[in-house]
Amino acid sequence: MISVKELVRESHLPSNYFAPDVYIQGDLEAGLIENRKGARLLALPEPFLEAIYEGLAEEVGAASESVLYKCGAWWGKTFYRRFAEEVSQHYKQPLAEVEMIEFLQCFKQSWKTHGWGKVDLDFNFYQQGFIVVAVRNSAFATSGSALGKPKCFVEAGLLSSFFSGLTGQKLHCIQTTCESLGAECNYFVLGLPERVKRAEAWLQENHDHATIMDRLCQGQANR
Amino acid sequence: MDTALQSLIYAADDHYLSDADLDRFGKDVQALGDRIEAYEYIRERELSILQPAVDYLTEEFLGSDPKLLERAVMHWLSILRYAAMAMLLNNSEYLSRRILEWLPDLVEVYQLRDIELALYRLILVQAKSSLSPEQLALIKPYLEEAYAVLLNAKPALQKAA
């Protein structure tokens, strides 16, 4: 016998914490956009992002890729901390105890609500030590000049720190496809640095995502 | 905010509303009164609508894991509350954003589709006997929308390890 009254009293009613109409709020009097916890949000115009990309490329050349990755990684660290705090408070339990599917729903919705695109996670390579992230309509693929290779360095850095925070292990992230190159989505591969970095050479040889994943997994099987 | 009223407020940005707009405004305000009444009614009778539906559900799914049944009940508790609010606001997007865009993956992962659809049917039966025909007509489109979304729930997630 299920008592609805008891359920209402004892359980957490499911809801979409990151629903955009409730998560993004504004204090128009003070000229602020805030999230539902009162943390300030900034809406950056695309030309500003482009200016950062171009300015960095002009000043530091090829090193700008690594600078952008590190910026993303720094940002991802604080984003993870805030995400974990908010989701834990919402579910009234530590993030590690939140059901996997609910964590995933929150993660995907938070990405969408912040305007960073539509994210999906693929755990099919988890046993081999990799997580694949697919982002469609990425906020980072359209800015900056064409490099002839994947260029969402901020996004890669952001993902590396977020999942490092989540797994408690230092992870690296490599982008294997890019919307800026006509791909249907940005694919990112996350894993331990010594395992994932082997893909950099294959990327330079213009191998596609499927081939890179095959080789990465093959490399793990041969160990 | 009520979407119909909101569009009239936007329309009045830099000019007076026309007689036709004012007439619409009056009708929308009157309709809002009916929706407030229906909302209060549903709020007060939430348990008497849901409990019998849940009792029938547990009979219908006798061998099922009680935790799964509870989860489905929680989903419909939320749906009913958000549907009532969407009805009050006359805004179906509210229901979609707050719960319907979010629910199908959960229903899929926990394989709750059959239970959820059965519960919808049972809740509708109870709503028919608890609410007036006018009140039912106000809330039913939102419950039907939830049903349609759950009916079409697809496997959206990759298999988690």
Distance of CA B131 to the CA centre of its chain: 14
> According to the model, what pLDDT value does residue A62 have?
86
Three-state SS for A188? strand
pLDDT in tens, A2-59: 899 998 887 778 789 999 989 999 887 888 999 999 889 998 888 888 899 889 989 9
Place of tokens 């929706």: B35
Quote the domain boundaries for residue B142. 3-160
Contact B58 A20 (CB under 8 A): no
According to DSSP, the residues that pair with A33 across neighbouring strands are A26, A41
Distance of CA B68 to the CA centre of its chain: 21
| Number of structural domains found in chain B | 1
Which positions of chain B have pLDDT values less than 70?
1, 153-161
CATH (domain of B22): 1.10.490.20
State how beta strands A40-41 and A186-191 pair.
unpaired
Question: Looking at chain A, which residue has its C-alpha nearest residue B75?
Answer: A14
Residues of chain A contacting residue B97, judged by C-beta atoms under 8 Å apart: 16, 19-21
Q: What is the mean pLDDT of residues A77-100?
A: 93
ipTM entry? 0.78
Q: Which of B46, B66, B103 has the CB atom closest to A2's CB atom?
A: B66
**A118 has a chain B CB within 8 A of its CB:** no
Query: How big is the CA angle at B59 (ends B54 and B64), to the nearest 5 degrees?
Result: 90
Contact in structure between B8 and B109 (CB atoms under 8 Å): no
> According to the model, what pLDDT value does residue B5 have?
77
For chain B positions 104-133, those within 8 Å of chain A (CB to CB) are 105-106, 109-110
Q: Please give the mean pLDDT across all residues of chain B.
A: 89
**B66 has a chain A CB within 8 A of its CB:** yes
Reported as a pLDDT band with limits 50, 70 and 90, residue A223 is: low
Give CA–CA dist A25/A15, Å, rounded: 17
Contact in structure between B83 and B142 (CB atoms under 8 Å): yes
For chain B positions 18-57, those within 8 Å of chain A (CB to CB) are 46-47, 50-51, 54-55, 57
Give CA–CA dist A143/A52, Å, rounded: 9
**B77 has a chain A CB within 8 A of its CB:** yes
Give CA–CA dist A57/A66, Å, rounded: 11
Contact B158 A123 (CB under 8 A): yes
